């Protein structure tokens, strides 16, 4: 496992902090700067995407700015569908102006005139309030002569649309089926034009980096995982909820704070993430050098059957697979049927090893992150809780 030294547990208050930061003032201060200087600050901060994949945000902005095609777009990915994740909803509910300012600063930096928030249909109840606040914000942009405006498009209940190219397809009125990559969104995104697509939380951090300066942000976290991150904590914990924590802590420190004293395993990164059993808590670092995460931390205690957990995940993926590529469409179904057959005794326990090979093949051959990542929960649960799957 990891050899890097873990940071101590530290609560942070950047995302939801409202006392000293007036988002619109951050915009005003930064509109006086050159776009390239803003992008350099974001690169310098080391900020990596907070949706889970972890691409350096500043580079995304730079690549898109360097493209010559017009128009360019700024998209906020608010299609938060990963089981165990609920922080983007909270951010949009509590500090939406920080998201808007991040989008406006991105638009100013890369030369885009249009920003769009793709909000999952499950969060439609936020629409009324968000639209009202957007109306005010768009007017503020107009008053400042900034040629940029933000609107919202809604999803309709498809997990796969959180995948960026599926999200573009959905915004174009099509089935949410992922595209081949490359080309990447920075060259051909929404409407096949250069597009920056960032997660809700990432955009708030860009606002806060523009406010605090990159050095303040870099003081937090580790070399590979700069800054803090909002975690969604759920499952067997007495204090489920949303917490902003410094990156780079060990899982044992995390469990000490959030577990119920009987924690058997933690699913880090949602259904598509990794299941870490107790024996590895000490050696697992939460961050890009260990297990990266979009922020979902699901805690299971010893009363839980890991067969049921895996079964739930596989059902989820079987239903949410877009069906476009065979490895994912058929693979998910076969993994689900496979563990059911082993459980019923219709297949020998060694069949699990065949299924693991299938999962690994899906990791190599599936078209997008959905099919590729099913191997994460499958192999980590089967490896660590084999008896629970069989008996």
DSSP states of 70-107: S--EEEEEE---STT--HHHHHHHH-HHHHHHHHHHHH
Cβ at position 259, least distance to another protein in Å: 15
Q: Which pairing describes strands 228-235 and 195-199: parallel, antiparallel, or unpaired? A: unpaired
Q: How far is residue 2's CA from residue 377's CA, in Å, rounded to a whole number?
A: 19
Is residue 320 a contact point for another protein (CB under 8 A)?
yes
Best CA proximity match to 3, nearest among 260, 200, 282, 229? 282
Choice between 46 and 81, CB closer to another protein? 81
If one asks whether residue 120 binds another protein (CB under 8 A), the answer comes out as yes
Q: Is 319 in the site for another protein (CB under 8 A)?
A: yes
Give the containing element (helix H, strand E) for 240: none
Those residues whose C-beta lies under 8 Å from the C-beta of residue 180, and which sit 6 or more positions away, are 367
Provide the β-strand partners of residue 195: 73
Tell which one of 35, 48, 80, 332 touches another protein (CB under 8 A): 80
Structure tokens at 210: 């523009």
The yes or no reply on residue 188 touching another protein (CB under 8 A) is no
Task: Rank residues 89 and 347 by Cβ distance to another protein and give the closer one.
Answer: 89
Q: Give min distance, CB of 88 to another protein, in A.
A: 8
CA neighbor of 200 nearest in space, from 62, 28, 16: 16
Find the binder of another protein among 281, 316, 378, 385 (CB under 8 A).
316
Q: Is 165 in the site for another protein (CB under 8 A)?
A: no
Euclidean distance between the first and the last CA atom of the chain, given in angstroms as a whole number? 28
Nearer residue to another protein within complex by CB, 47 or 309: 309
Angle at 324 between CA 321 and CA 157, to 5 degrees: 40
Asked if 234 is part of the footprint of another protein (rule: CB under 8 A), the reply reads: yes
C-beta of 32: minimal distance to another protein in Å? Answer: 35
Q: Is 241 in the site for another protein (CB under 8 A)?
A: yes
Distance in angstroms (rounded) separating the CA atoms of residues 131 and 296? 27
Which of 304, 329, 337, 343 forms a contact with another protein (CB under 8 A)? 304
* Residue 175 makes contact with another protein by CB under 8 A: yes
Contact residue for another protein among 6, 112, 158, 332 (CB under 8 A) = 158
Counting contacts by CB under 8 A, is residue 122 touching another protein?
Answer: yes
Member of 29, 156, 302, 326 binding another protein (CB under 8 A):
156
Q: Which residues contact 302 (CB under 8 A, 6 or more apart)?
A: 262, 264
Of the candidate spans 21-29, 61-69, 150-158, 356-364, the one that interacts with another protein by CB under 8 A turns out to be 150-158
Q: What's the Rg (C-alpha) of the chain?
A: 21
Cα separation, 323 vs 46, in Å, equals: 36
Among 154, 187, 333, 372, which residue interacts with another protein (rule: CB under 8 A)? 154
- The verdict on 130 binding another protein (CB under 8 A) reads no
- The answer for residues whose C-beta is within 8 angstroms of residue 110's C-beta and 6 or more apart is 35, 39, 61, 64, 65, 72, 74, 194, 196
Does the protein bind another protein through residue 232 (CB under 8 A)? yes
Q: Which is nearer to another protein, 27 or 158 (CB)?
A: 158
Q: How far apart are CA 235 and CA 205, in angstroms?
A: 27
Q: Which residues bind another protein (CB under 8 A)?
A: 80-86, 89, 120-125, 153-159, 170-177, 191, 232-236, 240-242, 271, 296, 298, 304, 308-309, 312-313, 316, 319-320, 322
């Amino acid at each position: 496992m990891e050899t890097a030294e873990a940071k101590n547990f530290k609560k942070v208050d950047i995302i939801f902090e409202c006392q000293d930061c007036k988002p619109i003032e951050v915009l005003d201060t930064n509109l006086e700067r050159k776009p390239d200087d803003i992008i350099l600050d974001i690169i310098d901060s080391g900020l990596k995407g907070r949706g889970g994949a972890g691409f350096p945000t500043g580079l995304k902005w730079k690549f898109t700015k360097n493209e010559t095609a017009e128009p360019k777009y700024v998209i906020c990915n608010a299609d938060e569908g990963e089981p165990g994740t609920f922080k983007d909803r909270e951010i949009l509910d509590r500090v939406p102006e920080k998201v808007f300012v991040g989008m406006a600063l991105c638009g100013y930096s890369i030369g885009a005139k249009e920003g769009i928030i793709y909000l999952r249909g499950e969060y439609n109840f936020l629409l009324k309030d968000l639209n009202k606040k957007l109306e005010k914000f768009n007017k503020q942009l107009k008053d400042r002569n900034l040629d940029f405006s933000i609107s919202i498009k809604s999803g309709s209940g498809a997990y796969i649309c959180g995948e960026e190219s599926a999200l573009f397809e959905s915004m174009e009125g099509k089935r949410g089926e992922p595209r081949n990559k490359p080309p990447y969104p920075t060259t051909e995104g929404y409407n096949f034009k250069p597009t920056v697509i960032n997660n809700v939380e990432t955009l708030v951090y860009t606002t806060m980096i523009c406010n605090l300066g990159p050095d303040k942000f870099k003081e937090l976290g580790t070399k590979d995982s700069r800054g803090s991150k909002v975690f969604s904590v759920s499952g067997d914990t007495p204090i489920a909820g949303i917490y902003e924590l410094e990156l780079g802590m060990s899982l044992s420190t995390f469990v000490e704070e959030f577990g119920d004293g009987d924690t058997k395993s933690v699913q880090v990164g949602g259904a598509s993430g990794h299941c870490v059993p107790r024996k590895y808590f000490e050696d697992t670092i939460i961050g890009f050098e260990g297990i990266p995460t979009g922020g979902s931390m699901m805690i299971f205690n010893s009363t839980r059957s890991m067969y049921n957990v895996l079964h739930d995940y596989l059902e989820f993926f079987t239903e949410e697979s877009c069906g476009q590529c065979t490895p994912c469409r058929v693979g998910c179904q076969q993994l689900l049927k496979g563990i059911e057959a082993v459980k019923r005794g219709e297949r020998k326990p060694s069949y699990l090893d065949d299924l693991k090979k299938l999962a690994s093949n899906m990791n190599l051959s599936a078209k997008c992150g959905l099919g590729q990542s099913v191997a994460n929960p499958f192999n980590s649960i089967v490896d660590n809780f084999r008896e629970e799957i069989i008996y």
